[in-house]
Amino acid sequence: MVLLKANLMKAFGVDSLSYVDFDDPRPGYGQVVVKVVEAGVNPVDYFVVSGMRRVEPMPHIPGAEFAGIVEEVGPGVKDFRPGDRVVVYPRVFCGRCDMCMGGHEHLCRFGGIVGMITHGGFAEKAVVNEANLFRLPDNVPWDLAASLPVAALTSFHALLEAGVGPGDVVAIVGASGNTGQFALQLAKIMGARVLAVSTKKWPLELGADAVAPVEQSYDALIKMTGGKLADVVIDAIGTPTLPVSMKLLDRRGRLAIFGALRGETVTFSVPELYNREVRVIGTTGGTRAEMAKLIDMASRGLLKVKVWRKLPMSQAKDALRLLFSRERDGRIMLVGEE
């Protein structure tokens, strides 16, 4: 029996994760075996391993965000061959329901997230459906490639749903996080002026017009704009920051929420919502069409990624423990063998 190494969870909890031998995956009809070169570590992976999300199968290999090289193709695969550089769209979808037919496959009624309802990419290899693969241009580095499916796509979709356009003022709450650093760059590409709400200064290097911690963000926004509040606020954190996010919004502003890192409930003033005609938008993931646009932007050198730590694939447990560390200063990546 041929075996590979994988980060396997047999029970819930980060301590349950072990780097062990696992059956070498074989591709079924329309499937591809991808040798994982690099994987991004995200809160969703922590939630999976901790038992905060529905997980199958068990024992389970987590990892929603990864890129690599095609090693083997199954019957029926037409567009990929061994040796192709690829990045994996992280949503499982049927392609037949009303959501999929309408171009919203990330909301598939019968789907879910790779690494949550299927084995994921925290392993030497992963099996994925051909429909989830995108060919990766040679000039896109692996750090960036393995940050497109979750970190970049989630923020891109949120900005599009919020209708960000030229001249808008956008505040990114959590601008130095996984998604925040891409929300910042993408908002600038869309023509917005951006306040990066963060304790870090490096978002200025990614194009932020101003940066300030949460407690100073209102004054910083007023100073940056000359008195105007934000047309759009992107909040990737959750309960602790949402009151401030609401305060940053101008009349008819749009608040896009896709994170619940530090709490899942919040209380809004109903009169505040309707008196100012504020719109609150919940978003999740993104579409394949949006993913294709991100790959194009990456290939044209328009996107960067700030990486803090690169750990070998065998240290996924350590990577998850570091994810919420106050010391973290950029992305954490798990690296396989190219």
Q: 10 and 133: one domain?
A: yes
Q: Is the pLDDT reported for residue 164 higher than 70?
A: yes
Q: Is the pLDDT reported for residue 200 higher than 70?
A: yes
In a domain, 65, yes or no: yes
Q: 36 and 104: one domain?
A: yes
In a domain, 296, yes or no: no
Q: 88 and 109: one domain?
A: yes
Q: 97 and 14: one domain?
A: yes
Q: 249 and 317: one domain?
A: no
Q: Is the pLDDT reported for residue 163 higher than 70?
A: yes
Q: 90 and 175: one domain?
A: no
Please give the residue range of the domain that contains residue 56.
3-147+305-335
Q: Identify the pLDDT of residue 261.
A: 61
Question: What is the share, in percent, of the chain residues with pLDDT greater than 70?
Answer: 98
Q: 309 and 256: one domain?
A: no
Q: What is the band of 255 on the pLDDT scale with cuts at 50, 70, 90?
A: very high
Q: Identify the pLDDT of residue 263.
A: 61
Q: Identify the pLDDT of residue 86.
A: 98
Q: Identify the pLDDT of residue 1.
A: 52
Q: 226 and 309: one domain?
A: no
In a domain, 29, yes or no: yes
Instruction: Note the pLDDT tens digit of each residue in 288-316.
Output: 999 999 999 999 999 999 999 999 999 99
Q: Is the pLDDT reported for residue 136 higher than 60?
A: yes
DSSP string covering 88-129:
E--EE--S-SHHHHTT-GGG-TT-EETTTTS--SSBSEEEEE
- The amino acid at residue 236 is A
CATH number for position 182: 3.40.50.720
Q: What is the band of 236 on the pLDDT scale with cuts at 50, 70, 90?
A: confident
| Mean pLDDT within 60-82 | 97
Provide the 8-state DSSP code for 242.
Answer: H
In a domain, 250, yes or no: yes
In a domain, 295, yes or no: no
In a domain, 66, yes or no: yes
H or E element in which residue 187 lies: helix 180-189
Angle, CA of 184, 189 and 190, to the nearest 5°: 95
Q: 196 and 105: one domain?
A: no
| Mean pLDDT within 69-89 | 97
Q: Identify the pLDDT of residue 264.
A: 67
Q: Is the pLDDT reported for residue 194 higher than 60?
A: yes
Provide the number of structural domains found in the chain.
Answer: 2
Q: Identify the pLDDT of residue 260.
A: 66
Q: 55 and 68: one domain?
A: yes
pTM for the whole structure? 0.95
CATH number for position 53: 3.90.180.10
Q: 184 and 73: one domain?
A: no
Half-sphere exposure of 250 (CA within 13 A, CB side): 13
In a domain, 291, yes or no: no
Mean of all residue pLDDT scores within the chain: 95
In a domain, 298, yes or no: no
Residue 37 CB contacts under 8 Å (≥ 6 apart), including other chains? 66, 67, 68, 69, 142, 146, 335, 336, 337, 338
Q: 231 and 174: one domain?
A: yes
| Mean pLDDT within 79-99 | 98
